[in-house]
Amino acid sequence: MRHRKSIEKLNRTAAHRKATLANLSGALFERKHIQTTEAKAKATRRFSERLITLAKKETVHARRTALKKLRQRKIVQILFDEIAPKYIDRPGGYTRVVKLGQRSGDGAHMAILELVGFDMASKKKKEKQEKDEIKKKAAKGEKVTEEKTKPADVKKSKSDKKKKAGSKKSDVKEEIKTDNTEKKAKEKKVKKDKKPKK
């Protein structure tokens, strides 16, 4: 019987599960948000929140314990220097799971796990909803007008820069061509002068 055993096995052995959770937590601390399956996101949330609580102590022992679990010095440094100070006054609830729906390949339930205060998932979810609306409109046969986030001025300036760069390149090429033709003309003159007269 498996009564009162709350560990999510994730269909892995103990060592494989520990490595998976350490890698997912490391990616979460480094990038501030990750996209994974819902089950893995929930298991990682539990693991990473405990590490953040540990990091709030700011002791050498806490650092060594976190390093033992995460296995990467760089990630531990990010956890203690960037993330933990932000949550000093917060008593838990450092992460958020945002559900995304099912994956198209195998139908697995997907989710975004993100650190609260570093809001990226809400933006991604909005983008996904906008894309879905565009697809639905396209399927119905309606005219689709995509709103572009970049202003026209920025695009114009980029295209102007490209044109200027292209014109500079063409000017350089033309100069090289003219130099080459002048050299060839000089060489022909020299050859004609060197030919013996009969």
- Cα 116 from Cα 91, distance rounded (Å): 13
Instruction: Work out the pLDDT band at 2, boundaries 50, 70, 90.
Output: confident
Mean pLDDT within 94-106 = 94
Q: What is the pLDDT of residues 50-91, one digit of tens each?
A: 999 999 999 999 999 999 999 999 999 999 999 999 999 999
Q: What is the DSSP letter of 87?
A: T
**Mean pLDDT confidence for 173-179:** 68
Q: 14-121: what CATH class?
A: alpha beta
Average pLDDT, the chain: 84
Mean pLDDT value of segment 124-151 = 73
Instruction: Give the confidence band of 115 by pLDDT, cuts at 50, 70, 90.
Output: very high
Q: Which residue has the higher pLDDT, 183 or 132?
A: 132
Of the chain, the percentage scoring pLDDT greater than 90 comes to 56
Read off the pLDDT of each residue in 157-166 and give the average, rounded to a whole number. Answer: 57
Which residues have C-beta within 8 Å of that of residue 67, sequence separation ≥ 6? 73, 76
Position 140: which residue type?
Answer: K
Q: 38 falls in which pLDDT band (50, 70, 90)?
A: very high
Residue boundaries of the structural domains of the chain:
14-121, 153-198
What is residue 98's predicted lDDT score, i.e. its pLDDT? 94
Mean pLDDT of the 114-135 span: 80
- pLDDT, residue 120, reads 67
59-83 per-residue burial string, b: 16 or more CB within 10 A, e: under 16 = eeebbebbeebbebeebbebbbeeb
- Residue 163: pLDDT over 60: no
Whether pLDDT at 197 is above 80: no
